[in-house]
Amino acid sequence: MTKLRARRVIRWILVVSLVVLFIALQTHEGTATFFQRLFLGTGVFKPGTFIEIDSRTPFDYSLKLHDLRGLSLDLNSHKESVIFLNFWATWCPPCRAEMPDIVRLYNDFNDTDLRFVLVSLDNNVETIESYLKKSGYDVPVYRPHGSIPESYGTSTIPVTMVIDRSGRIAFRHEGMAAYNTREFRNALREELDTF
């Protein structure tokens, strides 16, 4: 076999492999989550930087939430705290891919004034509980009670925001990201030390 023909065969094998991978990603959520976690591990999906203090947008605390037992959460009760707010769903592979990083952050910052509010857009509480139990995640998960205000911009998920102590959006990211990075942790610590 000539070198040119061998290259063509290798190219076709790569093309076919990519097509098979793409189909697998579209049809099997577990496969999609696995590959997206691999991509997160490369460091390509970094969450970006926090917004400068003088250009931060005021946060709307009007979102009504319930925990998985049905108890209400009034976001106004967290006004003096820094809030890590994440919108996600169990059926969303990018959401599931970033969840291990969020859980690590929660475990590491649990004894601070950082409040984690993870809002699942799933319709069924049992689905959420099953996913959390199967994954071994013990994090505070809430569900919206009523509609989500347009100001939250949750037409796509995952969406993550950090709200500072003055009630302004310090950080906002649409799409999956690796939040358990040194840079992001340092930015969270700075927010916690500010005020």
Full DSSP string of 55-111: GPEEP-TT-EEEETTS-EEEGGGGTTSEEEEEEE-TT-HHHHHHHHHHHHHHHHHTT
Whole-model pTM: value is: 0.76
Residue 21 pLDDT level (bands cut at 50, 70, 90)? low
Are the beta carbons of 168 and 58 closer than 8 angstroms? yes
Predicted confidence at residue 149, as pLDDT, reads: 79
Q: Among 135, 132, 177, which Cα is nearest to 41's? A: 177
120 phi and psi angles, rounded to 5 deg: -85, 135
Are the beta carbons of 157 and 87 closer than 8 angstroms? yes
Predicted confidence at residue 10, as pLDDT, reads: 78
Residue 152 pLDDT level (bands cut at 50, 70, 90)? confident
The number of C-alpha atoms within 13 Å of 169 and in the hemisphere containing its C-beta is 16
Predicted confidence at residue 24, as pLDDT, reads: 57
Q: Which of 48-57, 112-121, 174-183 has the highest mean pLDDT?
A: 112-121
First to last CA, the chain: 70
Predicted confidence at residue 135, as pLDDT, reads: 93
Q: Looking at the predicted structure, is the pLDDT value of residue 137 above 50? A: yes
DSSP helix/strand/coil, 145: coil
If one compares 128 and 51, the residue with the highest pLDDT of the two is 128
Q: Looking at the predicted structure, is the pLDDT value of residue 95 above 90? A: yes
Q: Looking at the predicted structure, is the pLDDT value of residue 44 above 90? A: no
Q: Looking at the predicted structure, is the pLDDT value of residue 69 above 50? A: yes
